[in-house]
Amino acid sequence: MGKMGLQEIQNSLMAESRQPFRSFFTLSVLGCLFTLSMFYRVSTAVIAPNLVRDLDLNAKTLGLLGGAFFYSFALFQLPIGPLLDRIGPRRVIGSFTLVGALGSILFAFSPSFSFALLGRVLNGAGMACVMMGTFKVFTLYFPPERFPTLVGTLLAVGTLGSILAASPLAFVSSVAGWRVAFLLTGGVTALLAGSVFWILPKEEKETSVVRASSPDQTLGVVQSIRWILRTLVFWQVAALSFFRYGSFICLQGLWLGPYLIYGKGYSPVQAGNVLLLIAVGTILGAPVAGRLSDRTFRSRKGLAFWGMTLYSFTLLFLVGIFDIR
């Protein structure tokens, strides 16, 4: 065997030995980005009194500031899919999350509502790619049989962002101020965005993704969307998500914090503890719901019905039927 053959074998063995580390590092970076995305979603709830004071907000502008992240986040879901197919997750995730970092930093330095609103819009647009981009990475670079485990792990890790946006954010804001907190998270987001360009395969492999896309495939995507929009099941699930997730994220992401602080006399840290418990419940409830669906109910509809019933019952505490003090 020649010298070149031995060198190729050695390089191959070295690459295989580095693969577990590279996979772990890739998952860690993407998991951290998704955690930050979840953090940004609900971060305005516990610091709402600070925002009202420092940016001279009223209820309308506070609500708009909290919702700005979701407006741009939802809008950019439409181009994210085609971009991931055409130019690959490396450039999409890396570039978009840099914009998200810029939005967080702009929000931290905002002197007025207008600048803060722009920061939240950029933040939402930048983080819009993280979940779908990570799913794309899973499908490209990991075995198909690992996909459910990877997705479940990602969602569980991401919920930590909701925890960080509760009591920890309230504590940091009380000690150093909310601006410092968002400056730090913006810096961390920028570092993670830069690392995406290093850990994911470079342009040579992305060009193969570009070649895989064709006008026929693009047309197929459009036709698929039209077919989905004409499907009754889609609208049933969409309605369920609209009322359940919409009201849930409205409370967790903004209004529950001010309600507990101004309406019930909680301190910001106490309100943060309540929000933290909601995040913990989400982490614990997801795997339990999966097991109940497979082992007990044996019906997704039955589980969804009782889950929505229980969720609706908890809202009775907020309308004053039960006292939460």
User: Which residues does 122 contact at the CB level (< 8 Å), separation at least 6?
Assistant: 72, 99, 100, 102, 103, 106
Rounded to 10°, the helix 59-75/48-55 angle is: 110
Give the pLDDT band (50/70/90) at residue 156. Answer: confident
Q: What's the domain range around 222?
A: 27-315
Region of poorest pLDDT, from 28-32, 76-80, 131-135: 76-80
pLDDT at 308: 83
Please report whether residue 11 resides in a domain. no
Assess contact for 162 and 63: CB atoms under 8 A.
no
Please report whether residue 4 resides in a domain. no
Q: How many domains does the chain have?
A: 1
Written as six digits, the tokens of 194 are: 């830069």
Please report whether residue 1 resides in a domain. no
Please give the DSSP secondary-structure letter assigned to residue 58.
Answer: -
Residue 130 CB-density burial (10 A; 0-12 exposed, 13-18 middle, 19+ buried): buried
pLDDT at 15: 45
Please report whether residue 12 resides in a domain. no
Span 188-241, pLDDT tens digits: 999 999 999 988 877 554 444 444 444 445 555 577 678 878 888 888 888 888
pLDDT at 290: 64
The mean predicted confidence, pLDDT, of the chain is: 81
Please report whether residue 8 resides in a domain. no
- CA 147 vs. chain centroid, Å, equals 18
Task: Decide: helix, strand or coil at residue 322.
Answer: coil
Residue 183, domain CATH: 1.20.1250.20
How far is it, in rounded angstroms, from Cα 103 to Cα 24? 28
Please report whether residue 6 resides in a domain. no
| Mean pLDDT (whole number) for 305-321 | 76
Please report whether residue 171 resides in a domain. yes
Please report whether residue 324 resides in a domain. no
